């Protein structure tokens, strides 16, 4: 709950009428607005505005808590399929609310720019929208947590995926940043100080509290070009120049590239004489201009100054990891460069999604190939880390395991996902609907096919397919382990030429213990299997190199499971650790 802890701030205007709540207490975003624009950029907060904002913020929070409790009770009473449907409906509801808040922000900004409402009224609207958006984001987080415990197949069948929830959260960015948050603190009496706001060529809020805390936010419109043509190194310099304090104490901690949205993001920390802070800067990928900046700084004690004086000259102040050559894309090779205090860092260790991929050369560069989805690169130099992330759209079909048996023209298909049967899949074989999987994930049908059997599985918005050859009275899978449609027929032909009879997985380097890094090798019929998918404890960690090897890191738990999939076959290694004594058991399936 928000509490009104102060009633007087620097520059407060306190007319007698302000001691009463706004006329329309039902919606402080539209209540008691002064349509007279002021001169200057200062925002004045009245006690009446504070009281009304607190009431509305608390009301929104209570409504959210009641709503979440009701949904949780209904959710727990449903089966897996019904839960997925409920989550999808809830996600759509939250998306619509986010769109409403976004529209209210746009309308308020236009009204202020057109002189229809005062600066103070506009600031108050943003404060209320920030409170509402904060509650909405909490609901999105709860929804994401619930979705993690529901079958990915059922979620996709219901039309819910990660990008749906991410888009909802992203749509609230205009009212959840440092600026609106600082306004909310003033309009609820949580802090005292000065606030400035303006919207010339974008939106800008600067706030400073009496204890010296400062925040700054800038938002500017972007063009419609979502391509990335700006060099990341140049974008970094632009981002650094936009920061408020140019005395060299802003240090880059993370860089990320967002090809699907056409921008580059940089995160910094500030540390100087006890003063600390953090900032995020986004650069438009086509214009190279700053379109979003959030910055927060707070003073600390003076003890840190002595620590700075003791800083060793040879220690790294800033470690950066940037793209030096190439355009980031899934499975596209790029060259990254590690910079220590602006100079190339040789022999820096680089990991990709937690797996070591090599060390930098004399010029600080290393060639890497990011996979689909999120690719997180981390460089390590002298105890310091630098991060670089690529985020690509990743709506891959959840992997189904299909056990296919054919006997005298009768086909039995049993479908599972993560070991659990998948019920309710509509099955079409060679263009004919042949049934729906039952509670055991099975469907049985007759077929007169003599050469090939193309099977499609659908449920709601989920769909995938498997292709089989009828050979010696049995079914032999033609497609890869994910069962996704092949876009390149030549690739299909090449895959069909090499049938795998025996897939094996073995440890070739390292000692399997909790938390250990080891190298595994996958072989198909005794030959290295390049491109085999490897999972550790159910999570995909990468694909094998040309020699069939991949370096993986085990968790700190008492057991571990490594699985490899290649050409429709799979192999497995399981380890059980007792007092850190490793005990491995081969369980190769072919």
Out of 11-25, 129-143, 319-333, 397-411, the most confident range is 129-143
DSSP readout, 527-557?
EE-TT-EEEETTEEEEE--TTSEEEEE--SS
Distance CA 166, CA 191 (A): 31
What's the pLDDT score for residue 395? 54
Stretch 269-281: mean pLDDT, rounded? 86
* pLDDT greater at residue 417 or residue 235: 235
Lookup: tokens for 583: 């005990």
Contact between 379 and 355 (Cβ < 8 Å): no
Asked whether the predicted pLDDT for residue 196 surpasses 90, the reply is no
Asked whether the predicted pLDDT for residue 104 surpasses 80, the reply is yes
* pLDDT greater at residue 447 or residue 28: 447
Percent of the chain beyond pLDDT 90? 18
Distance CA 578, CA 584 (A): 11
Distance CA 531, CA 545 (A): 6
Domain with CATH 2.60.40 in the chain: 401-497, 503-586
Buried b / exposed e along 286-306 (16+ C-beta atoms within 10 A) = beeebbbbbbbbbeeeeeeee
Per CATH, the number for 503-586 is 2.60.40
* Number of neighbouring beta carbons within 10 Å of residue 176: 20
Q: What is the DSSP letter of 311?
A: -
Task: Write the pLDDT tens digit of every residue in 358-413.
Answer: 889 988 999 988 877 678 899 988 888 888 888 766 555 677 888 888 888 899 99
Stretch 427-445: mean pLDDT, rounded? 93
- pLDDT interval class at 160 (50, 70, 90): confident
Contact between 118 and 35 (Cβ < 8 Å): yes
As a whole number of angstroms, the longest Cα–Cα distance in the chain is 93
Asked whether the predicted pLDDT for residue 146 surpasses 70, the reply is yes
Task: Write the pLDDT tens digit of every residue in 502-561.
Answer: 888 988 888 888 888 888 898 887 788 888 888 988 888 888 887 888 888 888 888 888
Asked whether the predicted pLDDT for residue 23 surpasses 90, the reply is no
Q: Record the pTM.
A: 0.60
Distance CA 267, CA 296 (A): 12
Asked whether the predicted pLDDT for residue 24 surpasses 80, the reply is no
Buried b / exposed e along 105-130 (16+ C-beta atoms within 10 A) = beebbebbeeeebbbbbbbbbbbbbb
Asked whether the predicted pLDDT for residue 435 surpasses 90, the reply is yes
Out of 299-313, 318-332, 495-509, the most confident range is 318-332
Asked whether the predicted pLDDT for residue 20 surpasses 70, the reply is no
Lookup: tokens for 95: 């998306």
Lookup: tokens for 18: 């302000």
Stretch 277-283: mean pLDDT, rounded? 93
What's the pLDDT score for residue 393? 61
Stretch 202-225: mean pLDDT, rounded? 85
Over its C-alpha atoms, the chain yields an Rg (Å, rounded) of 29
Lookup: tokens for 537: 């404890």
Residue 534's DSSP bridge partners are 542, 564
Asked whether the predicted pLDDT for residue 274 surpasses 90, the reply is no
Stretch 169-183: mean pLDDT, rounded? 84
Contact between 288 and 357 (Cβ < 8 Å): no
Distance CA 586, CA 494 (A): 30
What's the pLDDT score for residue 263? 92
Distance CA 518, CA 515 (A): 10
Stretch 275-295: mean pLDDT, rounded? 92
Per-chain mean pLDDT for the chain: 79
Per residue, the 3-state secondary structure of 188-201, as one string, reads: CCCCCEEEEEECCC
Lookup: tokens for 325: 């050559």
* Number of neighbouring beta carbons within 10 Å of residue 102: 17
- pLDDT interval class at 40 (50, 70, 90): low
Domain 401-497 indexed as CATH 3.30.460 = no
What's the pLDDT score for residue 29? 41
H or E element at residue 445: strand 442-446
Distance CA 366, CA 545 (A): 17
- pLDDT interval class at 248 (50, 70, 90): low
What's the pLDDT score for residue 482? 39
* pLDDT greater at residue 201 or residue 150: 150
Stretch 431-438: mean pLDDT, rounded? 93
Task: Write the pLDDT tens digit of every residue in 439-479.
Answer: 999 999 998 888 889 999 999 988 888 888 887 767 888 75
């Amino acid at each position: 709950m928000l509490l009104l802890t102060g009633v007087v701030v620097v520059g407060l205007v306190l007319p007698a009428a302000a001691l009463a709540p706004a006329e329309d207490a039902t919606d402080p975003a539209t209540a008691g607005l002064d349509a007279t624009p002021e001169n200057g950029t200062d925002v004045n907060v009245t006690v009446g505005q504070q009281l009304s904002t607190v009431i509305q913020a608390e009301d929104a929070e209570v409504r959210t808590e009641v709503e979440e409790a009701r949904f949780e009770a209904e959710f727990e009473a449903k089966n897996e399929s019904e839960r997925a449907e409920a989550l999808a409906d809830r996600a759509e509801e939250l998306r619509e609310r986010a769109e409403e808040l976004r529209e209210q922000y746009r309308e308020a900004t236009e009204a202020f720019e057109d002189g229809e409402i005062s600066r103070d009224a506009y600031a108050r609207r943003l404060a209320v929208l920030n409170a509402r958006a904060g509650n909405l984001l909490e609901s999105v987080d709860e929804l994401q947590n619930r979705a993690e415990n529901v079958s990915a197949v059922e979620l996709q069948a219901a039309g819910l995926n990660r990008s749906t929830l991410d888009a909802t959260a992203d749509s609230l960015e205009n009212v959840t940043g440092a600026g609106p948050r600082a306004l909310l603190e003033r309009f609820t009496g949580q802090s005292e100080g000065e606030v400035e706001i303006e919207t010339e060529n974008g939106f800008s809020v600067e706030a400073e509290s009496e204890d010296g805390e400062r925040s700054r936010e800038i938002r500017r419109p972007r063009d419609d070009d979502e391509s990335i043509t700006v060099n990341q190194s140049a974008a970094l310099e632009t981002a650094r120049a936009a920061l408020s304090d140019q005395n060299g104490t802003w240090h880059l901690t993370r860089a990320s590239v967002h090809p699907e949205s056409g921008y580059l993001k940089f995160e910094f920390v500030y540390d100087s004489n006890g003063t600390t802070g953090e900032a995020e800067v986004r650069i438009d990928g086509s214009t190279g201009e700053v379109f979003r900046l959030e910055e927060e700084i707070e003073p600390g004690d003076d003890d840190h100054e002595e620590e700075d004086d003791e800083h060793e000259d040879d220690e790294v102040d800033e470690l950066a990891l940037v793209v030096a050559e190439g355009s980031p894309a899934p499975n596209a090779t790029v060259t990254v460069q590690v910079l220590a205090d602006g100079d190339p860092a040789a022999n820096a260790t680089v990991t990709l999604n937690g797996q070591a991929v090599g060390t930098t050369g004399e010029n600080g560069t290393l060639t890497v190939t990011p996979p689909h989805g999120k690719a997180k690169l981390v460089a390590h130099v002298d105890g310091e880390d630098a991060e670089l992330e690529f985020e690509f759209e990743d709506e891959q079909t959840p992997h189904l395991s299909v056990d296919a048996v054919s006997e005298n023209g009768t086909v039995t298909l049993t479908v599972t996902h993560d070991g659990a049967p998948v019920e309710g899949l509509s099955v079409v074989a060679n263009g004919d609907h042949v049934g729906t999987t039952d509670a055991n994930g099975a469907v049985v049908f007759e077929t007169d096919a003599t050469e090939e059997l193309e099977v499609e599985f659908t449920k709601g918005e989920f769909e995938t397919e498997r292709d089989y050859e009828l050979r010696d009275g049995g079914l032999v899978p033609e497609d890869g382990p994910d069962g996704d449609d092949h876009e390149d027929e030549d690739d299909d032909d090449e895959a069909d030429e090499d049938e795998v009879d025996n897939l094996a997985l073995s440890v070739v380097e390292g000692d399997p213990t909790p938390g250990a890094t080891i190298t595994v090798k996958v072989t198909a019929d005794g030959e290295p299997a390049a491109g085999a998918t490897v999972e550790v404890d159910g999570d995909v960690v990468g694909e094998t190199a040309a020699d069939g090897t991949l370096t993986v890191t085990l968790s700190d738990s008492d057991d571990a499971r490594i699985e490899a999939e290649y050409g429709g076959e799979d192999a497995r290694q399981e380890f059980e650790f007792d007092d850190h004594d490793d005990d491995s058991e081969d369980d190769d399936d072919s």
